[in-house]
Amino acid sequence: MQITIVGAGLSGAVAGRTLAEAGHHVTIHDSRPHVAGNCHTERCDETGVMVHLYGPHIFHTGDAEVWDYVNRFTTFRPYRHQVKTTVQGAVYAMPIGLHTINQFFGKTFRPEEARQFIEEHEADLSITDPQSFEEQALRFVGPRLYEAFFKGYTEKQWGMSPKALPASILKRLPLRFDYNDNYFAHAFQGMPENGYTPMVEGILDHPNIDLHLGSALDAASAGTGDHLIWTGPLDAYYGGRFGALGYRTLDFERFTSTGDWQGCAVMNYGDPDVPFTRITEHKHFAPWEEHEGTVLYREVSRACEAGDIPYYPIRLTGEMAMLAQYEALAEAEENVTFLGRLGRYAYMDMDVTIRAALDVSRGLAQRFE
């Protein structure tokens, strides 16, 4: 069969490879001049640093098959993601753990003492069923830690009060009562030795795949094969029939320096009067490399407008009602499959993206036998 795929990011590449290996001819189009979508990486000509051009992507998973899959196409080097945050004139480790609790409150708690202190003196136990981000945070850590570490950062990231955001956003972040400052707890963690783009190029390197970069397709021009896999925005496929689904986008202010500018890969800024949410220093994402120069980006989050790159789906009540209308149209399609964070209007980590692409494309391969 002839399969057309719109998008050469992780979803399109993995689905295309699976179907190509099953004997189908796959044509992939991407409007950008490179593969890998938002996890695209490239070397800085000035410093030699490997840069995550659309913001840092950290590979972490508990899915052994997904880990084995990406290791087919590149060499992963050990990497443990550690995040710091500057707030109220001090630097703390994130997520909140025993060190941050002791530092913030000026204590020397042991783990059980810290747990008891938070539960008995900080957490708002009157909140039994948190509905909003703010309620979840107050029940989770109490008002003082919430005000310092979550409120200002969240307002900047999402452009709205935490009272208006769902509790599920905060539930992804752990609260620890030990000194473990690794951001992720998955069994498999690492960074591709030469960046994500060569990895995706490897996935796409198959004789049954024809790749066309700088080639933008809309719904009408994409539907020329036997089946279409669409990884672009779901609402765009239908011409925005019910309105535009809401996203947050990012503006990046790039700057360079020499040596080690901030001492870590990611420094968050929680104070509301600091306009950016974080600074990323990209040499730290490849700690096995040595570079005299360094490349950094300040990130500012704002509402996504026409022509912007959509990063984070908002998924509030209005968007979810609109999404249901688009999903009803998508479910009625016989020869179109929607994949990826844009095609499904969902925030998806890389491993979840790959797992979904594998499962869906394997199902299609069986269907097309």
| Residue whose C-alpha is closest to residue 309's, from 248, 242, 220, 227 | 248
Please state, in angstroms and rounded to a whole number, the distance separating the CA atoms of residues 199 and 343. 22
Helix 64-71 and helix 350-367, axial crossing angle in degrees, nearest 10: 90
User: For the stretch 51-89, what's the b/e string if a residue is b when 16 or more beta carbons lie within 10 angstroms of its beta carbon?
Assistant: bbbbebbbbbbebeebbebbeebbebeebebebbbbbee
Catalytic residues: 172, 176, 248, 278, 299, 347, 349
Q: Residue 60 has which token pair?
A: 């972490």
Coil, strand or helix: which one is 128? coil
**Cβ 284 vs Cβ 296: under 8 Å:** no
Which backbone phi and psi does 222 adopt, to 5 degrees? -80, -25
- Concatenated DSSP letters of 32-43: SSSSSGGG-EEE
- Concatenated DSSP letters of 295-317: EEEEEEEEE--TTSPP-EE---H
Angular region, 34: left φ>0, alpha ψ -120 to 50, beta rest: beta
**Exposure of 128 by Cβ count < 10 A (0-12 exposed, 13-18 middle, 19+ buried)?**
exposed
**Cβ 227 vs Cβ 336: under 8 Å:** yes
**Cβ 228 vs Cβ 291: under 8 Å:** no
Residues contacting 351, CB < 8 A, separation 6+: 59, 60, 61, 62, 63, 66, 67
